[in-house]
């Protein structure tokens, strides 16, 4: 079954005009390809992000200082998988960091940046960072709840970053059943994983694994639920397809793949002011691929069964698919 609970207006477009191959998208790409302009935009993106966050109660600089320590930096070697090679699409600037996700600053700022991202969803309401984060996570968790397998033993959070998505997912699922759940966080950035491990001070997550979601070392059919939370917009389409194929291998029969990410049909995203969509594109190198990619069709093509796509908040959609074999 394929359904969409969106309430599309007659003029609804499937994607923003600033992404893809429209003249506007090409113009923005030309601006970004100009080195001096790109440098300015990167700096501007960073300033906007930090300013908005601090204005709304996010303790950006304090939190970075609290998280950083010699012990944290020393844990990098232990958590890193030395045999891993990084795909080309990953070794480009992301989020205004020249080294993308492969640096300490990106990992130390991921927590305040994630809080800021949730606040932007409800920017006209004066929510605290914690309340905005809870709303963001619960809208996704409520959408997947009706489709969850009856009992869950093993969960994988792909692209777990510093573990915020992993923690919310694990805690929520664990309240639904008494049997213990083993949850694993997987990410390509050992810096993010080092911070995730440090934040998980009670060890509620079974394992933080450094790996590429396109080809993991997990056994066939080892998970009941796999989530991809805010990961797809960071991927070119061939990587997304490879990850879906790998997730199909890892899911047990009846298992669920649950995705949440930017909604190309969101009127908020489609109508972002030019300054914001240029900034967004300058910090998210795979935006054109993401906004023009048919996720649902690809899920079905790799052999998963798309169940539902739901706009779960003003900016994001949740996409749910099942392993039917």
Ligand X SMILES: C[S@@+](CC[C@H](N)C(=O)[O-])C[C@H]1O[C@@H](n2cnc3c(N)ncnc32)[C@H](O)[C@@H]1O
Decide: is 287 part of the binding site for ligand X (CB under 6 A).
no
For ligand X, which is the closer residue by CB, 21 or 217? 217
CB atoms within 10 A of CB 150: 8
For ligand X, which is the closer residue by CB, 156 or 321? 156
Can you tell me which of 164, 194, 278, 295 binds ligand X, judged by CB under 6 A? 164
- Which range of residues in 39-47, 61-69, 208-216, 247-255 is near ligand X by CB under 6 A? 208-216
Question: Beta partners for 260?
Answer: 229, 318
Decide: is 187 part of the binding site for ligand X (CB under 6 A).
yes
Total binding residues for ligand X by CB under 6 A?
A: 22
Can you tell me which of 198, 212, 266, 312 binds ligand X, judged by CB under 6 A? 212
Q: CB neighbours of 211 closer than 8 A, spacing ≥ 6? A: 81, 84, 186, 187, 188, 217
Can you tell me which of 56, 101, 154, 266 binds ligand X, judged by CB under 6 A? 101
Spatial distance between the Cα atoms of 136 and 51, rounded to a whole number of angstroms: 21
For ligand X, which is the closer residue by CB, 102 or 304? 102
- Which range of residues in 125-133, 231-239, 266-274, 280-288 is near ligand X by CB under 6 A? 231-239
CB atoms within 10 A of CB 47: 12
Decide: is 232 part of the binding site for ligand X (CB under 6 A).
no
Task: Tell me the three state secondary structure of residue 312.
Answer: coil
CB 158 within 8 A of CB 232: no
Phi-psi region of 110 (alpha: psi -120 to 50; beta: other; left: phi over 0): alpha
Binding-site ranges for ligand X (CB under 6 A)? 90, 101, 114, 159-161, 164-165, 186-189, 192, 212-214, 229-231, 234-235, 239
């Amino acid at each position: 079954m394929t359904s969409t609970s969106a309430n599309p207006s007659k003029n609804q477009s499937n994607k923003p005009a600033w992404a893809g191959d429209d003249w506007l998208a090409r113009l923005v790409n030309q601006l970004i390809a100009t080195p001096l302009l790109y440098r300015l935009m990167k700096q501007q993106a960073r300033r906007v992000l930090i300013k908005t966050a601090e204005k709304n109660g996010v303790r950006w600089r304090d939190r970075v200082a609290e998280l950083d320590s010699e012990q944290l930096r020393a844990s990098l070697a232990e958590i890193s998988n030395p045999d891993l090679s990084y795909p080309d699409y990953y070794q480009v600037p992301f989020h205004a960091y020249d080294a993308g996700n492969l640096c300490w600053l990106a990992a130390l700022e991921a927590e305040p940046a994630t809080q800021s991202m949730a606040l932007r969803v409800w920017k006209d309401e004066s929510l605290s960072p914690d309340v905005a984060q809870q709303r963001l996570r619960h809208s996704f968790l409520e959408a997947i709840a009706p489709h969850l397998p009856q009992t869950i033993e093993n969960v994988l959070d792909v692209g777990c970053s510093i573990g915020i998505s992993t923690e919310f997912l694990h805690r929520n699922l664990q309240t639904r059943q008494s049997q213990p759940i083993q949850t694993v966080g997987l990410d390509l950035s050992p810096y993010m994983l080092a911070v995730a491990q440090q934040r998980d001070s009670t060890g509620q997550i079974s394992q933080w694994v450094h790996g590429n979601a396109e080809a993991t070392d997990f056994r066939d059919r080892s998970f009941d639920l796999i989530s991809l939370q805010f990961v797809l917009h960071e991927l070119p389409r061939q990587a997304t397809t490879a990850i879906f194929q790998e997730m199909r291998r890892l899911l047990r029969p009846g298992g669920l793949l649950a995705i949440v990410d930017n909604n190309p049909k969101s009127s908020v995203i489609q109508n972002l002011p030019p300054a914001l969509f240029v900034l967004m594109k300058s910090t998210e190198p795979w935006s054109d691929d993401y906004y023009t990619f048919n996720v649902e069709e690809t899920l079905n093509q790799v052999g998963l069964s798309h169940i539902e796509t739901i706009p779960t908040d003003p900016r994001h959609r949740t996409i749910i698919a099942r392993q039917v074999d």
